[in-house]
Each structure stands twice: as C-alpha cells, then as structure tokens.
Chain A
C-alpha cells in the first residue's frame, strides 16, 4: 500500500454547550492513502461528519474543541493551532461535497462562477480562465451542454445534475482528498449509481483519495476499499471492505449487516430483518465501558465496566470488543475471532 496522505491519531472533539460537554469524537484514528476510498460508516449522530469536518476547520471552534489528537496531511501537522483556520487546505487539498445539493449552492450565483471561485482563490486563475476551466470541469462530470449550463443558476438544475456540479467544484483544484458526506442520500437510486460511478472514474483519472461518509452499506460495498465503523464517537471496527462484510469482528457491524435488506435469493430469502434494539447513547454522558453494551446481544459483565481493547483480527483489520479476549467464551455465530484468522 502506498504512503498515507492523511494520518489521524487519537482524535478527540467535544462541544461546550449549555447542557454540558458533548463528547462527539472519542479517540478516532485512521489513515487514508492515495487512490483509495475509505468509507466511514455509522448511525446518525455517531460523530462521523464531525470527525472529518473538524480536520477541515468547518466546526466552529468556540463551542467545538479539539482537545486531543493529531492529524498530518502529507507530513504537515494540520492541528497545530488551537483554532484551525484551515483555509489553506480547504478546497485545495481536501475538498468536500455534501448531502443535499439543492441547498448546498448559492442560489444567486451561476454555477460556473461558483466553480470558478475556487480556481481564482486557490490557483490564482483570472476570471475568464477560471470560467473556461469551470466549463471543462462540468464536462468532465458528464453534464451535457456544459457551456450553457455554466451560466445557469442552481434552481434550474435537477438534484443529480447539481451533485455532479458540486463534484466538479470539488475537484477543480485537484485536491488530494475528496470527502463525500452522504452524497447520494438525497438522490434517487438510479442517480445514486451514476454519481458513484462518476466518483470512481474521477478517482481513477486523478488518483485522489476519497473519504466516503455514509450510513448506507450498499454504497460502502460498491465503492469502498477500506471501511471504518464508528459508534458513539469511537472506532469499533476497521478493515478492508471484504473483512467488514464477510469477516466482521464486532457485534455492531454484524447488526448493521443483518439490518440491511438484500435480494440474495438462496441463503437469506426467508430471514427476517433484524433491527438493533435501543437508541444511540447520550453523548453528554457516554456509558462506562463499551459504548455499545446496552444494545449488544452478547454483552458481558466486563463490557459495562471497562472499555474494550483493540484487537487485530487480520492484516489491517481491527476490532474493539471484549469478545476477542482470551477469557471470553466461544464467539457468537457470524463473528470472526482473532484466533481464527491468526495474529
């Protein structure tokens, strides 16, 4: 595997609110390599967006606070200052596209100008050069009649085309990493497929890394190389996409998989959807021990007392669960143990 472009270690982000301190991210570490797609998976409110947005300086820092952890982008420490300005990396080295394209673009500026803006600011293009390049980018994103479209306004586009325009805007400055925060959630399924294909093609062409934040395992299966499962601000499992799907080592990951409807005829045809009982924990007061234990069907006494250690289950595959401890009994069905795969 190539050298990681982004290395995040032990990131802790919390928010000072009137109700108390919300611990949104509690010790998240990951690496992202060039040309790879990392999927960050989790429920709403688990901290996946906050993790990445805090790295980019998009979290307002008076209520938000990074009180621990480090992040290095191509060797540079981007958390050096307490309050991250982040302006130099946003848009040029790390770009982001968002969930709802209909509201994510300025309604009073035409699309071409909005794309050209980044080029003018980060690459010093002139207005006309930037606009011309914007048209090219729209073309690259497979928007027909790009020259005409560039002069139009967001409300004249459909959802799928807007998302393509957003992608064009994001890759304008050839970023090293493109972050896609639930890019397809607001779109039709057929459009979803097109957008994901576009992302894949662009990644092939430019060699950029993609961080894909999603709660949809179908998207993960299609796009991801690496997957990181987050629950209540902690990484509960991390590994390659095959590991996560076929050899999961954490009850939560298993639960997510079982809750996914499939049309796999032979084996799963008569199985009911298994939902995960309970609701996500209150982050003002995260539970002691393992954050997942109130909802885990295999919870043990120790799970309520102490936080589980991280166990390596395979090459680049880790899980954080007491079930992998020597003293835990036999593993439940469907979970892979450390011993099975080998240390």
Chain B
C-alpha cells in the first residue's frame, strides 16, 4: 500500500478506545446452547412436531372422532378409505324358488348368468346344465384369467342354479363354473362371469341402524349413506381410524412409559454403583451383565407365560413389567460409566476443594452432566420399545383382541395384505413414522447435547 500524504498528525499516539478484552458474544448456559442448536436442526424440530401430533392424535383424537373401536359395521367389512358407502333400500330377503323362474337362455355352452341384479343379500346364478354332469362353482375377488386361480370353491352341484349368500360385500366378484368329469376331476370346460354386487339393506335394518327414523319415511330404491369410515374398516368391520387412535394409546403408552421406567431404574442403579465404586460396583455390574445375557425376547415371552396369561388375553402390564425387569442394565451401565468418568474430572475435585458437600457436587455437577446422555438414551429406547411391543403382538404374545395396538393391527392386516392392503398399511405407517420421529429426535438431541461440539458452528 502506498504511503499517501502522511502528516505528523498521523504519528500521534492512538487513543485506545477499544478495551483490551471484549465480549464478542453473549455466553449461553449449556441447556440454552443445546436448545438453540436443537432448534437449528430442521429434522429434529420436525420430529418433535410429529411426536406432538401423534400424542395429540391418540389422546385428543378419540374426543374428536367419537367412534367405538370395537363396534362392528357389518355392512362395511374390510372397506378401504374413501370407498363407496351408499346403500340402497330394498325389500327384505325373500327365499329363492328357482323352479318358478323361467330358464334363462344360454349365451354360450354353459351360460352362467344372473337371474337378478346381484346384491349383498344374495347372488343368484343359473346355468345350462347337461344331464348327469356335476359342476363346481368358485368365487374369486380377482379375475381368474390374471391369477390363474378360480378362487374359493363354493359348492359342488348337480343342479343348474346356486344362490350365494356367503359373506357378500359390495364390489366385484368373479364366479367360475367348472364342469367335472365322471370321476369328479375338473375338466377344462369352465366359464367365468363378472358380477357386480351392490349393497342393499332392508327397511327394518335401516331403522335399526339409525339411518332413517321411521319405516314410514322409507322409499324402496332410496339410496342412503352408511357410516363414514375415513380410513376404512378392518376384517371385522371395525373403524380403522378409531382403532388406530386407541391402538396408539396402547403402543405409545408402552413405547414411552416403559423406557421412562427402566431408564430411571437403570439410572438409579448405575449412579449408586458408580458412586460407591470398588467391590460393590463390581458386584452390581456383574449382576447387570447376567441380566443382559438373558435373551430378551425369550424372557419377555417367559414372563407372559409365568403370569399365567396365554395367547388370547390382554397383556399390557406383564409386558411392561417384563420390559422394565429386563432392560434396565444398559442405561445402568451407561450412567455408571459416566459417573466414573465425571468423578475423575477436574471440576469435581475443584468443587470439593472449594468446600462442596457430596450432595452439592452430585446435584450441581455430576447429575447435570449425565442428563444429556440419559435423555438421548431414553429417546432412542422408545423406538425399540415400540418395535418390541409390535413384534410381540405380531406373534400373538402381546396385547390381544379386542384391545387394539398398532402391532396387533399389523398382525391382523398381514393376513389380508393382498386383498385389503390398507389394514396393514395404516398401522405399519404409524409405527414407522413414530419410530422415525424418535430416531431423528434422538439424533438431534445427541448432536445438540454433545459437549464437545459446543462453540463449533
């Protein structure tokens, strides 16, 4: 830089207006700093929001959506979300007397036809029958030409008519009639018919279900709307949304309360061990090692058996107790390690030298420094607790019907996964979202509370 027009004035002493040491930034306490860093983490904040939403969903939700999760809506079994819920008023079911009906003309060799529009009351089929020939009738939800399978065998007949009343739901069925040979084996001659079944309900039933007030108001052929199930129903006709809410209560209760309890137990055990040190510590930790070695899931199941509860009975409390008894060693060991480490730290000795009593040192210095680790551990244990509950319910050793839980709902949903995927999808989705949220939150907490990262941006 060129020294441009310097005057003697420039060489006068500089008044130091700047004091020696300046505070460049306000200093933050550990927790304020951690909170600030957590707020800067978008995934962690999103997770917190998600968790808050889920908690609200299961606690406040039932008040907003007041549907009993155990009530079965028999008219709408296994429907998906957004399915058509219209129902037509029709006369009550009349038995079928096919002899009185005229023969329907065949439209091909076997001629499988409907004698009347198919409703949920009955599907009536007729066909042209050759003398002495037996037939087998199948029903499928899927087109046999796609899947190669005729589906559910309904009956083996040597007549020319059949009335299907088996568990009819609104939708599309594929009926297949297969000709049998003399030995009863299936021949290649078969015919498939697509049948659209409409939902109907008699006037008496409609009044009973509260869809219309009196019989007098009813008009045959009138279309009514059945109860709305925003997320569909399960295989017993129970409202999915309500079940998810109540199921969530169970799953989240176990998922959150159990870790809270066993981490607390572990913290107490570990602090005592770490603090006492020496042989007591060694003995306590040896015992903890043994408990850790017990194969967790196997003992969970053993506990349930011990409590005399077999499959088919609800088992929230045994599950909770078992989890607490089996899972406390890990946090105990963690906290003990922390305590041992902190005991050797300079600031603990300094505090003692300055006259701090034991309780002061523990309360003011040791515990706050372990809280971070404890908090992170607890957050990460929630997903495993939820998985554990789901898994146990899945193999039938968790909560049992009619108590819903997300894991049990998955179990039920798997059976009808191909035909009614929503029964599996919704609880699985909720489990995944919850687990995801807690994992991300745990990550965020760990980064925020990690003392080594303080002061780094």
List the 5 closest A-B pairs by CB distance, nearest first: A302-B10, A277-B20, A299-B14, A278-B20, A301-B10
Q: A307 at interface (Cβ–Cβ under 8 A)?
A: yes
With known contacts A294-B18, A309-B3, A301–B457 Cβ distance under 8 A: no
Chain B's nearest CB lies how many Å from the CB of A289? 10
Chain B's nearest CB lies how many Å from the CB of A275? 10
Chain B's nearest CB lies how many Å from the CB of A18? 6
- Residues of B in contact with A (beta carbons under 8 Å apart): 1, 3, 6-14, 16, 18, 20-22, 24, 457
Report whether B3 and A19 are in contact in the complex, using a CB–CB cutoff of 8 Å.
no
Interface residue SS majority, chain B: loop
Task: Report the separation of the CA atoms of residues A19 and B6 in the bound assembly, to the nearest whole angstrom.
Answer: 36
Task: Report the separation of the CA atoms of residues A304 and B18 in the bound assembly, to the nearest whole angstrom.
Answer: 12
With known contacts A282-B24, A294-B18, A328–B3 Cβ distance under 8 A: no
Report whether B13 and A298 are in contact in the complex, using a CB–CB cutoff of 8 Å.
yes
Q: A327 at interface (Cβ–Cβ under 8 A)?
A: yes
A281-302 at interface with B (beta carbon < 8 Å): 282, 293-295, 298-302
Contact partner of B11 among A18, A293, A294, A301, CB < 8 A?
A301
Report whether B21 and A327 are in contact in the complex, using a CB–CB cutoff of 8 Å.
no
Report whether B21 and A302 are in contact in the complex, using a CB–CB cutoff of 8 Å.
no
Report whether B11 and A302 are in contact in the complex, using a CB–CB cutoff of 8 Å.
yes
- How would residues 133 to 155 of chain A score, 1 for a CB under 8 Å from any chain B CB and 0 otherwise? 00000000000000000000000
Total residue contacts A-B, CB cutoff 8 A: 52
Contact partner of A327 among B10, B13, B24, B457, CB < 8 A?
B10
Question: Nearest chain-B residue to A282 (Cβ)?
Answer: B24
Interface size on A, residues (CB 8 A): 26
Chain B's nearest CB lies how many Å from the CB of A22? 12
Task: Report the separation of the CA atoms of residues A279 and B24 in the bound assembly, to the nearest whole angstrom.
Answer: 11
Contact partner of A301 among B1, B9, B24, CB < 8 A?
B9
Q: A128 at interface (Cβ–Cβ under 8 A)?
A: no
With known contacts A19-B457, A278-B21, A300–B11 Cβ distance under 8 A: yes
Report whether A279 and B457 are in contact in the complex, using a CB–CB cutoff of 8 Å.
no
Residues of A within 8 A of B12 (CB): 300-301
With known contacts A300-B10, A327-B11, A307–B1 Cβ distance under 8 A: yes
Task: Report the separation of the CA atoms of residues A255 and B245 in the bound assembly, to the nearest whole angstrom.
Answer: 72
Task: Report the separation of the CA atoms of residues A305 and B3 in the bound assembly, to the nearest whole angstrom.
Answer: 11
Q: A325 at interface (Cβ–Cβ under 8 A)?
A: yes
Task: Report the separation of the CA atoms of residues A248 and B134 in the bound assembly, to the nearest whole angstrom.
Answer: 118
With known contacts A18-B457, A300-B13, A325–B21 Cβ distance under 8 A: no
Residues of A within 8 A of B10 (CB): 300-302, 305, 327
Residues of A within 8 A of B18 (CB): 294
Chain A's nearest CB lies how many Å from the CB of B445? 22
Given A299-B16, A301-B14, 17 more A-B residue pairs with CB atoms under 8 Å apart are: A17-B457, A277-B20, A279-B22, A298-B13, A299-B13, A299-B14, A300-B12, A300-B13, A301-B10, A301-B13, A302-B10, A303-B14, A304-B14, A306-B1, A309-B1, A327-B11, A329-B11
Q: A322 at interface (Cβ–Cβ under 8 A)?
A: yes
Report whether B6 and A325 are in contact in the complex, using a CB–CB cutoff of 8 Å.
yes
With known contacts A19-B457, A302-B6, A325–B1 Cβ distance under 8 A: no
Residues of B within 8 A of A301 (CB): 9-14
Query: Could you list 18 A-B pairs, sorted by A, with CB under 8 Å?
Result: A277-B21, A279-B20, A293-B14, A294-B16, A298-B13, A299-B16, A300-B10, A300-B14, A301-B14, A302-B10, A302-B11, A304-B14, A305-B10, A307-B1, A322-B11, A327-B6, A327-B10, A329-B11
Residues of B within 8 A of A293 (CB): 14
